[in-house]
Amino acid sequence: MDTTLQDPLVGQLLDGRYRVQARIAAGGMATVYRAVDTRLDRVLALKVMHPTLATDQAFVERFIREAKSVARLSHPNVVGVFDQGADGTYVYLAMEYVAGCTLRDVLRERGALQPRAALDILEPILAALGAAHRAGLVHRDMKPENVLIGDDGRVKVADFGLVRTVDTHTTSTGAILGTVSYLAPEQIDSGTADARVDVYACGVVLYEMLTGGKPHTGGSAAQVLYQHLHEDVPPPSQAVPGLAGQLDELVALATARDPQQRPQDAVAMLSRSQAVRAGLTDEQLDAVPPQAKAVADGAGSERTDVLPRPGGVQLPLPGATGEAELNRTSRLEVPPADAAPPTDRTTRLRRASAPAPRGGLLQRRRFATIVAAVLLLLGVGTGVWYINSGQFTTVPAVLDMPQSKAEKTLRDEGLGVKVSRGYSANVQRGHVMATDPANGKRIRGNGTVTLTVSRGPEIVSIPDLSGTPVADAKRRLRDLGLTPGTETRGFSDEVARGSVIRTDPAAGSKRRPDTAVALTISRGAEVEMPDVVGDDRADAQETLREAGLRVKFAAAPVHSEEDKGTIARQSTAEGESLGEGETVTLTVSKGPEMITVPDVTGKDVEDARRELRALGFAVEVKKPLLFPQDTVDSQSVEAGEQAPKGDTITIRLKGAL
């Protein structure tokens, strides 16, 4: 039956702009439609949250977070987000439309892929995630359902709905948000989710592409979680004999249970993948997978679930029940039924492997049945999974408390604390405006409470800081959520030195928090620097003090033309402007440097000139009126006497007169 006919949005104009053409897919939180942007006349995909969830602020914020996060990325392997908005009860994202199929479709139809095809898909995935990681984002829900393969062969990563910043922990009070088959051990055990959880998921996806099945399988989500925590991902060659050992090493590297042993992010993982590819022969890259592994072995779609967290408890092996629990789908970005046929590259990807018998799955089921029977005989029972056992408490009331007091209150109750920030026109900046879980809600005794601390109102009025000491002005800006910006200095007869003259933006301007506010700071009244060089030390000091300036003397006197004890230099030149109260450094003279004059009589005039100049003297040459010679006859200062460095020595040349 065509469910599109029953969808009330099909044929409607959403938000006055998007003409909904057909429903593509439906999931647990949203439905995806093919639509036309009537303003730009382009086909796109609309992801519309179910109206029943639109009243849940947490879901709406997650929807908007996805839009903002992905909109920050501009990468050819990321499904772009064009717009986000709401129309009545419909909250939507407008996204890039990709005609083609998902990687899950390929794996479901063909099973294992040739290594070359697997790497051809893996590397664009890593490139997309690498762009996200370098932008400070973590996807957290990488799986084949979120990998789109376009009819033109392009590979794109979709559904950043669980995206978080790199330094964010994902603890959800005893719950795990994600898809069980691709969760990294640290996500299950502690809720930690940095870039390496995406690397782990990519390693699982690579294993699945190389073998046609998931590395960890079981009859329940709990059984799979247990294997993630306690069992290494097996080498792909164990399921597909003949695969190159380098591929086993690549999978092992990405899926190391200790996150410290994995590449730090997708960029580093991409580099390792490219190095492995370069080291493989064409025969190894194009090896056809044998028909030995069941395609149905864990190849069904999985949905993103909220699952109870083990909380670090050592978990027993669960029973093998409820296999369908792992195979429910929430895939949203899938091609429409009338999509164009795949290109050659897509065909090659789909033909890279073939279906295989189901013997392996039957053997595993038989083994699981035996294990369940043994547990039953031991009185343990099957299908029982006490992950959430333990002591519970309720979230204490900390609303409107200062952040430090709220954190202490929670920690005194044995609870962990995580802090986020938001705008509020009603709650004072630095005080708690919300908690997750909310006040009074049930929480595990060692759980974590997220405090949302107010940043103050979303729009802030720039305060009038004129005449305010600069330290107080900066503190006041920070209290309002503004950022002290660049500082410049200016003269003012009215504003005391070290206080603010004006701000930019000007006082009264409306700005968002974190806006940088530049400060012009007073140097005091303008003072013109007098000339005190050559003055007696005491006289120079008095002159500057009368001008409103402070005086500092250099540590050591220097030789100069000025008399000993007078001022040889001043740090600010005569006529330059200073602020009242600023400091001028004066250097005292110890008189000129005295140099012993050499005997240059009888020497060639040029040799004599060079010798005297080398000692720092100026040289004047006097020539006779008749028949001058080039030999020095006499010198104005006798040889052996001392003269001030820089003085002029006169030399006379020999001649008739």
Q: Give me the active site residues, please.
A: 141
C-alpha to C-alpha distances, 289 to 69, 88, 282, 347, 379, nearest whole angstrom:
38, 52, 15, 17, 43
Q: For the chain, first and last CA: distance in Å?
A: 132
Q: From 69, 249, 239, select the one nearest 166 (Cα to Cα).
A: 69
> Collapsing DSSP states into helix, strand and coil, what is residue 223?
helix
DSSP H helices in 212-265: 221-230, 236-239, 245-254
Structure tokens at 520: 């012009």
Q: Across the beta sheet with 550-553, what order do the strands follow?
A: 550-553, 583-588, 567-570
For tokens 């249970």, the residue is: 257
Contact between 512 and 458 under an 8 Å Cβ cutoff? The reply is yes
CA distance 538 to 535: 8
Structure tokens at 42: 């382009």
C-alpha to C-alpha distances, 84 to 37, 48, 56, 66, 427, nearest whole angstrom:
13, 10, 17, 9, 28
Residue 303 contacts by C-beta under 8 Å, 6 or more apart in sequence?
27, 28, 179, 328, 329, 330
- Output DSSP code: residue 120: H
CA distance 79 to 332: 12
Structure tokens at 511: 């700005």
User: Can you count the helices (H) and strands (E) in the chain?
Assistant: 16, 33
Burial of 625 per CB tally in 10 Å (0-12, 13-18, 19+): exposed
Residue 367 contacts by C-beta under 8 Å, 6 or more apart in sequence?
none
Contact between 493 and 548 under an 8 Å Cβ cutoff? The reply is no
Q: From 154, 156, 256, select the one nearest 204 (Cα to Cα).
A: 256
Structure tokens at 74: 């501009």
Q: How many CA atoms lie within 13 A of 236 on its CB side?
A: 33
CA distance 176 to 331: 19
